[in-house]
Structure 1
Amino acid sequence: MNHTFFVSASIACGKSTFIKIAHSMGFESLSADEIAHEILNEFSNELARLFENPALLINGKINRKALGALVFSDKNAKKKLENFMHPKIKERLLEKIHILEQKNKPFFVELPLFFENNNYANLGKSILIYANKEQSLERLMKRENLSKEEALKRIEAQMDIEKKIPLADFVIYNTSTYENFKAECIKFIEKISRGEI
């Protein structure tokens, strides 16, 4: 995969902001989260049966907030959900990656759990958007209106971001202002445009 760049991070580090900047510069992208939402809706009844919990359904669709609360507080439920979702996400994502690869232009794949599993190793280059734990905690509490305890649960459900740094092909730091981060992203994406990366 010569044109695929996987964009990952921990929660509330700036992945989506990077993707928005890339879009504004004319790049295409895929989102594993969007694909996950499609799959959640398609398989909502199966998931409610899997967790033996009809309360997860609202008007025939999965209540993502209720599902999130369940999996972030129960490791077994999280594993069960991942085993159900990951193969389906991978299959659909790879189909879409192959289509974009045909265009012979670089594109981005927003994939939160890139470093947590080996499903996508050697399929492209990896970009880590980095913010430290305190920064992502603060941003997550503000963005999702969560208590500190709830936000910490979500952050700690993922691999520690410090461990992701040596695994990434490239790291873009989002540790000061939005303006600085945007400038770093533009500089990096322009290098990709020029074929320097």
Structure 2
Amino acid sequence: MIVGLTGGIGSGKSTVASMFSELGVPVYIADTEAKKLMYNPAVRAKITEVFGEKAYTASGPDNAYIAGIVFKDKEKLAILNGIIHPEVGRHFKKWNEAQKGPYVIKEAAILFESGAYKDCDIIIMVMAPRETRIERVMRRDGVSREAVNNRIENQWDDDKKAELSDYIITNTDIEETRKQVRELHSRLIKIRASR
């Protein structure tokens, strides 16, 4: 059973994903794998063709340079996603085939935007107030409020995601979040057993 885990930037998806991981659930972090796949020569060639030679430095992709373009240009963001997401989809499929256990978590910020939600049996959304999210990302990434808002504006809004989600975890208090994860884990195991 594939359980999609999503939420806007700064909502705490990674925190929730690590809580599921601590419970022994295999977790696939799409963003981490996408970054690794950018080193793939075929992916690199496609990205360089669109974004130019500056998209890569001697040590690998220049994520700040690429982000500076795509978060201001929706067309370029769509092109980048069109290069990366099919690769992530193939990689996830292989990874999933090797997993054991009642279910796996696929954590992806743009689960809906990329269409990857269609491959999920159940979807969990992590939510937090916008101001909390902005402050978390500014602290975590050392970026400006404007940069965070640009990223938020390039994702679907929470209401739209919530409508398509099966479960919502509110992530404002760490212990309360942990409790929600444990309860949901028990429920997911029961759901899997009944199928």
Q: When the two structures are superposed, what TM-score results if normalisation uses the length of structure 1? A: 0.88
Aligned twin of 1:63: 62
Q: Are 1:50 and 2:50 matched, yes or no?
A: yes
More moved, 55-64 vs 10-19? 55-64
- Once the two structures are superposed, the pairs formed by residues 87-106 of structure 1 within 5 Å of their partners are 87-100=86-99, 103-106=100-103
Are residue 40 (structure 1) and residue 38 (structure 2) matched?
Answer: yes
> What's the CA shift string for 1:6-37, capped at 9, x where partnerless?
10111110111111111111111112112211
Q: Which has the higher mean CA deviation after the structures are superposed, 119-128 or 76-85?
A: 119-128
Residue 73 of structure 1 pairs with residue 72 of structure 2: yes
Aligned counterpart in structure 2 of residue 169 of structure 1, from 152, 162, 166: 166
Q: Secondary structure at the match of 1:41?
A: coil
Unaligned runs of 5+ in 2: none
- Work out the CA distance in 2 between the residues paired with 1:167 and 1:192: 17
In terms of mean alpha carbon deviation, does 37-46 or 149-158 score higher? Answer: 37-46
Aligned equivalents of 2:125 and 2:141: distance in 1? 22
Contact 1:132 1:161 in 2 (8 A): no
* Pairing 1:112–2:82 present: no
Q: Secondary structure at the match of 1:141?
A: helix
Aligned counterpart, 2:118: 121
Give percent identity, aligned residues only: 23
- In structure 1, stretches of 5+ residues that fail to align are none
Structure 1 runs of 4+ with >3 Å offset: none
Alpha-carbon displacement from aligned partner over 1:87-125 (angstroms, at most 9, x marks no partner):
22212212222332xx35212111211122434315321
- 1:167 CA drift (Å): 0.7
| Deviation, structure 1 residue 150 | 0.8
Q: How much has 1:133 moved relative to structure 2?
A: 1.9
Kept in 2, the 8 Å contact 1:44–1:61? The answer is no
1:26 aligns with 2:24: yes
Q: How many residues align?
A: 190
Q: Residue 25 of structure 2 contacts residue 101 of structure 2 at CA under 8 Å; is this kept in 1?
A: no
Structure 1 residue 171 displacement after superposition: 0.7
**8 Å CA contact 1:4, 1:124 repeated in 2:** yes
Counterpart of 1:99, as a letter, is A
AA at the equivalent of 1:26: G
Q: Separation in 2 of the partners of 1:149 and 1:90? A: 31
CA distance in 2, matches of 1:184, 1:119: 24
How many angstroms does 1:60 deviate by?
4.9
User: Could you say what secondary structure the match of 1:112 adopts?
Assistant: coil
Q: Supply the AA of the counterpart residue of 1:114.
A: L
* Displacement after TM superposition at 1:196 (Å): 4.8
Cα distance change, pair 14–77 in 1 and its aligned pair in 2 (3 A): same
